[in-house]
Amino acid sequence: MSGRKLFGTDGIRGVANREPMTAETVMKVGAAAGHLFLRGDHRHRVLIGKDTRLSGYLFENALTAGFISVGMDVVLVGPMPTPAVAMLTRALRADLGVMISASHNLFADNGIKMFGPDGYKLSDETEARIEAGVAAGTPAPAGPEALGRARRLDDAEGRYIEFAKNSVSGPLGLQGRRIVVDCANGAGYKVAPTVLWELGADVVELGTEPDGLNINRGCGSTDTAALARRVTESGADIGIALDGDADRVVVCDESGVVVDGDHIMALIASSWAEAGRLRGGGVVATVMSNLGLERYLQGIGLTLARTRVGDRYVVEHMRAHGFNLGGEQSGHIVMSDHATTGDGLLAALQVMAALAATGRRASDIARLFEPLPQVLRNVRVAGADPLEDARAKAAIAEGHARLGEGGRLLIRKSGTEPVIRLMAEGDDAALVSAVVDDVASAVADAAGDAAAQ
C-alpha cells in the first residue's frame, strides 16, 4: 500500500526468511545504512539490539556483516527494549542504532527499526535514502584494513535499569505493593521485573520465559486475559503488560479492568498538569485516539493535537511544537523529558507515580473518561486503489454525514500490509457500527472489482 517497498509505518517488517526479511536483504540494508551514516573521519559505530525471536540470531549476524563490510564498528546488546536501544545509541555516541523486532507481532515475523545518533527514529527522507541505496546495489566495500569490528556491551542491561529507575523522582510508594508485570516473553523480560523489584515492589512475573517462539503468544499488551486473571488471583494492586519490544504498555487495575494508551495519557497528562510539568498545553496523539480522550482533555483545559498513525509522527509533532507528552491508543507513550521514543516501562512508572501522589487505587484514577463507541475494520485489497471507486467515495461521504460533527470516520491505507483500515466512533454505538458496515461493504466491493480487472 505504501510507495516504498522496504520501509513501512515503523521500519521494515515481514515474515522471517521471506522477502524483505531475508539474510541477504537485511545485510544489504545494513551496508546501505552504514554507508549513509559514514560521516567524518572518526571511527563509526552502530548499536544493535533485538527482541527474543528465534530469527533474531539470523538478522543480528546479517546486519553485523553489512555494517562491518562498509567499515562501521558494531556494538551488540542482545535482547533489550526498543527504547533502551534508542537511549544507548545516544549514550554511546553511536552513529546509528538498530532494533531487530516486529513489535507486537507473533514470532514468525521480524523487522528492523533504526535510530539516528540523537536517539530519534529516522525520518521518511532518510529511510528513503537507505532504500535507494539498497536498490542501487552494494556500496563500495571498505578495504581489508578498514573493516569494522564487533563486540558485545556487557553492561547494557544495567545501564537501562538505572536509566529507568532515575526517570522518576520522589517516592513511588512501591514498598508493599504487589505488581504483576507481563513482559510478553519479549525484550523486557529481564529488565522490567528487575526495575520494579529494585524500586521496592513485590513483583509477580508473566511472560518472562522466552523460547524464541512464544513472544506475544497469549501474553503481553495485545492479549491481556492472563494478566487480568493473575492480578485478581494474586490480589495485586496493579498489572502492567508490555509488548514484544517493550515500547508499548497497557495497565490493568486491581479489579482486572484493562485500560489502553488513551487512558494512560489522560492520567499522566492530568498528573503532570497539576504538578506544572506538562508542556505544550496538552497531549499529542494520532488520529486513532478516542474522541473521549479529546473531550476529557478539553474539560480540564488541555488540548489534543492529532497526527497520522505512527509514534514517530507523534514525536515529530512534539519536537516541533514544544509538547513533552504524546502517544498512541495502542500504548506507545512518549515522554520527551525522559526518552526519544515510546517506552512502556517508563510510562508504567509514571502511572505508579500518579497513584502514589493521590494515594488512591488504580481503579479510582486509571479510567478518567468513558470512551466513545469505536469500531475498527480492515478490508483486504489487491491491485488498484478501491478508494478511488465512485461507490466507495459515495459511501464514505454518506458515512461522514451520518455521524455528523459529534463523530468521526477515518479511512486509511495500511503502511505495513495490503489493507484499508476503517475506524468510526460516535455517541451512538448502533450508528457507528452501521456506518462501518456500509463503508466496509462498499470498499470491499470496489476492491473485489479492482482485483478482478
The residues carrying an active-site annotation are 103
Separation CA 219–CA 223 (nearest Å): 5
The residue count for the chain: 453
Helix (H, G, I), strand (E, B) or coil at 254: coil
CA 44-45-51 angle, 5° bins: 160
Separation CA 165–CA 168 (nearest Å): 6
Task: For residue 8, give Cα distances in angstroms to 11, 76, 236.
Answer: 5, 25, 39
| 158 secondary structure, DSSP code | H
Helix (H, G, I), strand (E, B) or coil at 93: coil
Separation CA 248–CA 131 (nearest Å): 27
Separation CA 323–CA 304 (nearest Å): 11
DSSP track, 92-121: TT-SEEEEE--TTS-TTEEEEEEE-TTSSB
Reading the block at residue 194, the C-alpha cell is 528487575
Q: Which helix (H) or strand (E) holds 426?
A: none
Reading the block at residue 364, the C-alpha cell is 479510582
